[in-house]
Amino acid sequence: MLTDIACKAAVCPPGKQRARLSDAGGLYLETSPSGSRRWFWKYRFGNKEKRLALGTYPAVSLKQARSERDAARRTLQSGSDPSKRRQIERLEAQLIEANTFEEVARELHVTKASGWSKQYGERWLERMEKDLFPWIGPVPLPEITAPMLLNTLRKIEKRGARETAHTLRQTAGQVFRYGVATGRCERNPAPDLHGALQPLNIKHMAAILEPAQAGQLMRAIHDYSGQPVTRTALLLSALLFQRPGNMRAMQWSEVNLVERVWTIPADKMKRTVYGKLNGRPHLVPLSPQAVELLRDLHPLTGQSPYVFPSLVSAQRPMSENTLRVAMRRMGYSNEDMTPHGFRAMARTLMVEKLNMHPDVIEAQLAHGKSGPLGAAYDRAEFMEQRRKMMHEWATYLERLRTGANPPAKRKPLAKPA
């Protein structure tokens, strides 16, 4: 039987690779020339002699080593191999560690990132790292309950970030759904929080939706005394009502003034990564008024790749704030009208005042078709109808600007063939 004094004094004799000091019941302390002292328990399982490491002395005392030996002996008496049982326990611990919310979320991010835009993927992970990982990141998925997730989202609400809280409820749901699919958990608690968060007061981007106000806006743009390039960009934003990012990035190589069409490459459109790589370009018919504006602008910016270049460098498009600042100079605040608001203005007035068919307008707006197979099977672009629509829209805006009588309300259009 060993004593604490004997364990403290144990050393490996010179010239030996190791020395063993036996205790009782198969327990012994092994010393090495390096000075290490390790506990082992020798036992037999399946007619084979085996040994189980129980730790290093003095981190594991003599008393603790005997306790570990007795526990291992009970495992052996139950018919299990203590060494195999320890391997299983280590694997289970590794699985539990790999099943934490953070580990599963990062795995999901790696799995999905190739199908997400770079900006979306970075923002997705950034929100997680800031607001969820610090609180529920180390917790295994099966142990996260709806109240636990709600408590975490409440912390985000308390700082006034309601929209972020709602977004992260959905994002957390993605992680749990992935966890269910990969066998890490059995259910997703995120849907249980529906209605538990403070409601969102969704505020749409400001837009002018009345004909008289639209006419006043067009007069303000027509009389704009700032940069002529900015004035043209505002006019074309009203005539073409494309997304502000696409308007800023318009290039002369994409514009065909003879065919009267602007071809926006698929990779510039607001689409999934797959859609950007494999989708068709978005074709924007140009009304005669739009063509005239572009012809007049070409002598000013034709030396740049961009139709609306930056004042700082002709190799860059104008700043995203240029049109917004120009509208403020004209007296329109963010609560009155925004560059994105030209889309809502066109969509509303075309339907309510010109009776344009919504499908034709949606094609011009480059809105995706509804339904999982909509984009795959309904590829109608209504180019002929859109050419007529864009000409009529430009004429209508000119009538509103000059105060001429707008055209009488037409009969509703039949659905385009």
Count Cβ neighbours within 10 Å for each residue of 15-49 and write b for 16 or more, e otherwise.
eeeebeeebeebbbbbbeeeeebbbbbebeeeeee
| Residue 19, helix vs strand vs coil | strand
The one catalytic residue among 169, 184, 343, 401: 343
Residue with tokens 């790589």: 277
The two tokens of residue 323 are 């049109």
274 among known catalytic residues: no
Dist CA 138 CA 148 (whole Å): 13
Instruction: Tally Cβ neighbours within 10 Å of residue 142.
Output: 13
270 among known catalytic residues: yes
340 among known catalytic residues: yes
The one catalytic residue among 73, 85, 162, 270: 270
| Residue 403, helix vs strand vs coil | coil
Count Cβ neighbours within 10 Å for each residue of 193-211 and write b for 16 or more, e otherwise.
beeebeeeeeeeebbbeeb
Instruction: Tally Cβ neighbours within 10 Å of residue 412.
Output: 10
Question: Which residues lie below 8 Å from residue 48, measured CB to CB, with a gap of 6+?
Answer: none
What are the backbone dihedrals phi and psi of residue 225, each rounded to the nearest 5 degrees, phi first?
Answer: -100, 10
**Helix (H) and strand (E) counts in the chain:** 18, 7
The one catalytic residue among 377, 379, 411, 415: 377
166 among known catalytic residues: no
Dist CA 123 CA 128 (whole Å): 9
The one catalytic residue among 243, 248, 271, 282: 243
The one catalytic residue among 8, 16, 367, 409: 367
SS (H, E, C) 26-91: CEEEEECCCCCEEEEEEEEECCEEEEEEEEECCCCCHHHHHHHHHHHHHHHHCCCCHHHHHHHHHH
184 among known catalytic residues: no
**DSSP secondary structure of 306-340:** BSSB-SS-TTSBPPTTHHHHHHHHTT--TTT--TT
Answer for the pair 25, 73: CB distance below 8 angstroms, yes or no. yes
The one catalytic residue among 66, 69, 271, 340: 340
50 among known catalytic residues: no
Show which residues are catalytic. Answer: 243, 270, 340, 343, 367, 377
